[in-house]
Structure 1
Amino acid sequence: MQVSESEIRGDGFAPLNEFLCFTIYSTGHALTQFYRPILEAIGLTYPQYLLMVALWAKDDQIIKDLGSKLFLESSTLTPLVKRLESAGFITRCRDPKDERQVRVKLTDKGRALKSEALKVPGCIQSAVGMNIEKVMEIQAAVAGIRDRLIEGR
């Protein structure tokens, strides 16, 4: 077992860069900043890109289901959906089977955007200098941490 600097000093806190939560948080921030110019070129923000990826995987989804997939509350997701609708990438409509539900569907413009967005995933792999197997290993480990934290609530 390795002894941290804080244990040697006796102050009770490790340096910030030794906090797992800070490392994940700051990495997420760095990823978002890295993606910004790439996504701006295709007219999307990072959260919009994630929503579009979810729709490219499966079109015509209920907002509630999209929120679950993206780990977003409706108060965050609704403005995001409205902006994508204003840009002409998606449409919203009431579910004919359940008027309480809102469905989100890709437009032709939204489907066409997918071909431009296909270059985005390869950019990060190149930037981090890791092969796809290593990237997927890290992704699985971080997803495991997230899932255990959610289960522990």
Structure 2
Amino acid sequence: MDQIDELRKDIILDIYRASNLLERVGRGIAIQHGLTSIQQWFIIGTLFRSPEGQLTLKELSENILVTKQNMTGMVRRLEQAGHIVTWKDPADRRSTRARLTESGKQVFHDLRNSGVSSNVRSFSFLNDEETRSFALMLERLVSELQQLEAADKPEHA
């Protein structure tokens, strides 16, 4: 293995480490605001930022990169907590749509405030230009990995 191969291996290991650490921090913030997982935070944020304020569960699962089964359970718990409502899509009765309630919108704002201060601490070692470059590189990596995954999937899956 050459130096670049070793460096790539180290980058992947560091991404996993950073992901685990960020998940711990995010889970702590989510729990402080009454959620049971960081994925619930992602669902609330995704719904808040959606153009129409609502998405299908399929769209949510694709956006957050979780299975439909996991999405269904997380949405059910958010609905039981009063943060979202769901309904069958009148245009496609096989699809379920979701949107935030007023309670869900308030949780989003509370989470955003906590998340901003946590992010400032987490990225304090980078200047603005380094932060922009890092964001661009990660975006490119995620996009490339999504393309590779899509290319590896069978057409009928």
TM-score of the two chains, using structure 1 as the length reference:
0.81
- Aligned partner of 1:10 in structure 2 is none
Q: 2:92 aligns with which of 95, 98, 109?
A: 98
Worse overlay, 125-134 or 39-48: 125-134
Match of 1:46 among 38, 42, 46: 38
1:122 corresponds, among 117, 125, 131, to 117
2:155 alignment partner in structure 1 = none
Change (3 A) 1:34 1:136: farther
Alignment of 1:1-153 (within 5 A): 4=3, 14=6, 18-44=9-35, 45-58=37-50, 59-119=53-113, 120-129=115-124, 130-152=126-148, 153=152
8 Å contact from structure 1 (residues 92, 104) kept in 2: yes
TM-score, scaled relative to structure 2: 0.79
Give the deviation of 1:22 after TM superposition. Answer: 1.6
Which protein has greater RCO, CA pairs closer than 8 Å, 6+ apart? Answer: 2
Structure 2 unaligned spans of 5+:
153-157
**Separation in 1, partners of 2:33, 2:67:** 25
Q: Distance in 2 between matches of 1:61 and 1:35?
A: 23
* Structure 1: 4+ residue segments shifted above 6 A: none
8 Å CA contact retained: 1:125, 1:131 = no
In structure 1, the gaps of 5 or more residues are 5-12
In structure 2, relative to structure 1, the CA distance for the partners of 1:151 and 1:136 (3 Å cut) is same
Distance in 1 between residues matched to 2:110 and 2:128, nearest whole Å: 21
Q: How far off its partner does 1:111 sit?
A: 1.5
Name the SS for the 1:72 alignment partner.
coil
TM superposition shift of 1:132: 4.9
1: CA distance between counterparts of 2:135 and 2:38?
18
Give the distance between the partners of 1:46 and 1:74, measured in 2 at CA: 17
CA distance in 2, matches of 1:14, 1:91: 48
- For the aligned residue pairs, the C-alpha RMSD in angstroms reads 2.3
Give distance in 1, aligned partners of 2:133 and 2:85: 36
Over alpha carbons, which structure has the higher Rg?
1
Q: Per-residue deviation at 1:121?
A: 2.8
